[in-house]
Amino acid sequence: QVTLKESGPALVKPTQTLTLTCTVSGFSLNEIGMRVSWIRQPPGRAPEWLGCIDWDDQSFYTTYLKTRLTISKDTSKDQVVLQMTYMEPVDTATYYCARTLPYSGYDAWGQGTLVTVSS
């Protein structure tokens, strides 16, 4: 059974760095073509793709957040990590990790974790 689960702080202060972990099971992060993305969704709004990391460690980021984002993985722990620097209240959202294979949509998602940015 394929599962993904996000973990991390529910509350961060403005200017702090957010670190979220996605722990996966039922598939390998090393499987050729495998990609895990981070996607966030502010309350009442559409999902927003943030970035991804591929099986071969290539990573891609959304344009306007590129300087604030780092996505890495630890295959020995089956984990993908998102770091987002300089958090602001507008970054308040539910953060999801999700997986995909080439030419396919995101067929498995984590439950999401709500991150609130407030002092």
| Burial environment of residue 32 by CB neighbours within 10 A (0 to 12, 13 to 18, 19 or more) | exposed
Residue 51 or 81 having the CB closest to other proteins: 51
Residue 16 or 49 having the CB closest to other proteins: 49
Q: Are 51 and 67 in contact (CB under 8 A)?
A: no
Write down the least CB distance from residue 116 to other proteins, Å: 16
Residue 2 or 13 having the CB closest to other proteins: 2
Backbone angles phi, psi at 61, to 5 degrees: -135, 155
Write down the least CB distance from residue 108 to other proteins, Å: 8
Strands (E), 1-119: 3-7, 11-12, 18-25, 35-41, 48-54, 59-61, 69-74, 79-84, 93-100, 108-109, 113-117
Write down the least CB distance from residue 75 to other proteins, Å: 23
Write down the least CB distance from residue 74 to other proteins, Å: 23
Binding site for other proteins (CB under 8 A): 37, 45-49, 51-52, 60-63, 96, 98, 100, 103-107, 109-112
Q: Which runs of consecutive H residues, i.e. helices, occur in the chain?
A: none
Residue 24 or 96 having the CB closest to other proteins: 96
